[in-house]
């Protein structure tokens, strides 16, 4: 027999109702003593790329592809997202967005997808259909 059996079998009664399991989990949830530190560190680790220079023949090819899309076509767009300007140069990162084509407005330079509005000058690559 285990010498601690009496302790194992003993029931404690504190007089308080038993705490729900979900509420107990909150007690042990991690917290950040320095609010915003994680976001600040993530921003410093972000690698910025310069805005790409697109050759005229590549721009023409992208324009033709853009005009070939019809409403509802699935489109995957690789585009440049400007995050900051440094010494007069746009710096940012490349993003890939997939959605259904709605329209493109050459006059305003905007491509509309079901889930995004992208400036056509920021488009690096188009895929779909």
Burial 69-92 (b: 16+ CB within 10 A, else e): beeeeebebebbeeeeeeeeebbb
Per the domain annotation, does 117 fall within a domain? yes
Q: Which residues pair with 97 in a beta bridge?
A: 77
CA atoms within 13 A on the CB side of 28: 4
Per the domain annotation, does 89 fall within a domain? yes
CA distance 112 to 123: 12
Per the domain annotation, does 38 fall within a domain? no
Please give the DSSP secondary-structure letter assigned to residue 5.
H
- Among 10-14, 35-39, 68-72, 82-86, top mean pLDDT goes to 68-72
Predicted pLDDT at 11 = 66
> pLDDT for 95-108, tens place per residue?
999 999 999 887 88
Per the domain annotation, does 37 fall within a domain? no
Is pLDDT of 129 > 70? no
Task: Pull the structure tokens for residue 91.
Answer: 């710096």
The predicted model gives 29-52 an average pLDDT of 77
Per the domain annotation, does 83 fall within a domain? yes
Predicted pLDDT at 31 = 67
Per the domain annotation, does 21 fall within a domain? no
Please give the DSSP secondary-structure letter assigned to residue 18.
P
Is pLDDT of 14 > 70? no
**pTM for this predicted structure:** 0.61
Q: How many domains does the chain have?
A: 1
Question: Which residue range(s) make up the domain with 106?
Answer: 49-128
- Give all strands (DSSP E) within the chain, no chain letters: 49-50, 74-86, 89-105, 110-113, 116-119, 123-128
Q: Pick the more confident residue, 109 or 30.
A: 109
Per the domain annotation, does 114 fall within a domain? yes
Predicted pLDDT at 118 = 92
Predicted pLDDT at 1 = 62
Distance of CA 103 to the CA centre of its chain: 23
User: How much is the mean pLDDT over the chain?
Assistant: 84
């Amino acid at each position: 027999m285990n010498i601690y059996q009496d302790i194992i079998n003993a029931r404690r009664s504190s007089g308080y109702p038993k705490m729900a399991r979900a509420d107990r989990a909150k007690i042990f949830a991690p917290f950040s003593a320095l609010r915003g530190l994680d976001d600040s560190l993530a921003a410093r680790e972000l690698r910025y790329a310069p805005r790409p220079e697109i050759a005229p023949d590549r721009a023409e090819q992208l324009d033709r592809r853009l005009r070939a899309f019809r409403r509802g076509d699935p489109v995957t767009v690789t585009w440049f997202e400007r995050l900051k300007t440094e010494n007069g140069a746009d710096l940012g990162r490349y993003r890939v967005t997939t959605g259904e084509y709605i329209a493109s407005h050459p006059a305003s330079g905007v491509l509309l997808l079901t889930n995004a509005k992208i400036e056509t000058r920021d488009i690096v690559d188009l895929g779909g259909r």
